[in-house]
């Protein structure tokens, strides 16, 4: 995997676009242009432009990665329609459908819709992707290479699955970080000094994630391994696992995020 990547055009270099660019840099960037009116420059091994009008006429990207906010799409995308002839568009924008993007880029535009997550910044991301009509095998393979530079990739054949994917793995890191926040606050409430509470909570979430990643056991079994009969964890889980507690809260949260992803489509 040392071959240099083909010419790339990244639109939007914020938290997610920047994380993906880091992965590509480690993978071996070829000629790369980033368009972002507000990003801090310079960007190592890429050319940062503030306006698509500054892109050299002879620049021919193999992929155009769309990483601005979904709400920016109608104003942003039409300026890139001229690349539809040769490039595959890889969108990571929540909610925005392939059909919506083709409406802005041209009906024949080859569009991959993907949903990564922020652990991409440490190459521990998980991305689910969908290839729209007209995406060639070579374009899908290039999209896979780009997305795999930041972690694991899976492909689905039904675009609608991207909405619950967005809710679960796209936003999932936020729920895990919330758990770390809440553990820290509860530790302080029980009298643990704030610095120790912070370090304990972070290490517990990170260590559990590492154990989960390294283990072949189900999450349920790893949970049971912690839970001694008549012990302390059992008491905590009786609170958390009550039907009206986490089972219902998580289910409602994922349903709400899925619905929001569908709302963002239009």
Ligand X SMILES: NC(=O)C1=CN([C@@H]2O[C@H](COP(=O)(O)OP(=O)(O)OC[C@H]3O[C@@H](n4cnc5c(N)ncnc54)[C@H](O)[C@@H]3O)[C@@H](O)[C@H]2O)C=CC1
- DSSP H helices, the chain, are 15-28, 73-76, 98-105, 137-148, 162-165, 172-189, 194-214, 219-226, 232-240, 246-263
Residue 162 interface partner, choices ligand X, ligand A1CAB, none, CB cut-off 5-8 Å depending on type: none
Read off the tokens for 239: 């609170």
Please identify, using beta-carbon distances, which residue of 117 and 139 lies nearer to ligand X.
Answer: 117
Least gap, CB of 36 to ligand A1CAB (angstroms): 18
Read off the tokens for 196: 């120790």
Q: Which of 5, 9, 13, 131 binds ligand X (CB under 6 A)?
A: 13
Please identify, using beta-carbon distances, which residue of 94 and 98 lies nearer to ligand A1CAB.
Answer: 94
CB–CB of 111/58 below 8 Å? no
Binding mask 139-178 for ligand A1CAB (x = CB under 6 A): ---------------------------x---xx-------
Q: Which of 5, 11, 49, 197 binds ligand X (CB under 6 A)?
A: 11
Which pairs with CB-CB distance under 8 Å and at least 24 residues apart come from 29-34? Answer: 29/4, 29/5, 30/4, 30/5, 30/6, 31/7, 31/59, 32/5, 32/7, 32/8, 33/7, 33/8, 33/9, 33/59, 33/61, 34/9, 34/10
Q: Which of 38, 44, 158, 213 binds ligand X (CB under 6 A)?
A: 38
- Confirm or reject binding of residue 76 to ligand X (CB under 6 A): yes
Q: Which of 23, 61, 164, 170 binds ligand X (CB under 6 A)?
A: 170
The site for ligand X (CB under 6 A) is made up of 11-17, 35-39, 67-70, 72, 76, 92-94, 115-118, 170
């Amino acid at each position: 995997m040392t071959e240099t990547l083909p010419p790339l055009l990244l639109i939007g270099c914020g938290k997610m676009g920047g994380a993906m660019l880091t992965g590509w840099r480690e993978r071996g960037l070829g000629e790369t242009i980033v368009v972002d009116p507000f990003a801090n420059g310079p960007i190592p091994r890429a050319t940062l432009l503030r306006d698509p009008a500054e892109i050299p006429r002879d620049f021919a990207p193999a992929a155009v990665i769309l990483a601005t906010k979904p709400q920016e799409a109608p104003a942003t995308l039409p300026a890139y329609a001229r690349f539809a002839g040769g490039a595959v568009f890889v969108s990571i924008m929540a909610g925005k459908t392939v059909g919506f993007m083709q409406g802005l880029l041209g009906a024949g535009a080859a569009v991959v819709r993907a949903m990564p997550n922020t652990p991409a910044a440490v190459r521990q991301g998980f991305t689910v992707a969908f290839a729209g009509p007209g995406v060639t095998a070579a374009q899908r393979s290039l999209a896979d290479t780009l997305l795999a530079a930041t972690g694991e990739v899976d492909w689905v054949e039904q675009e609608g699955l991207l909405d619950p994917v967005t809710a679960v793995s796209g936003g999932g890191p936020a729920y895990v970080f919330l758990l770390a926040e809440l553990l820290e606050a509860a530790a302080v409430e029980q009298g643990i000094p704030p610095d120790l509470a912070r370090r304990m909570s972070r290490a517990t979430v990170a260590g559990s994630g590492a154990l989960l990643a390294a283990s072949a056991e189900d999450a349920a079994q790893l949970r049971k391994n912690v839970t001694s009969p008549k012990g302390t964890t059992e008491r905590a889980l009786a609170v958390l696992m009550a039907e009206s507690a986490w089972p219902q809260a998580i289910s409602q949260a994922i349903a709400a995020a899925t619905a929001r992803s569908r709302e963002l489509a239009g």
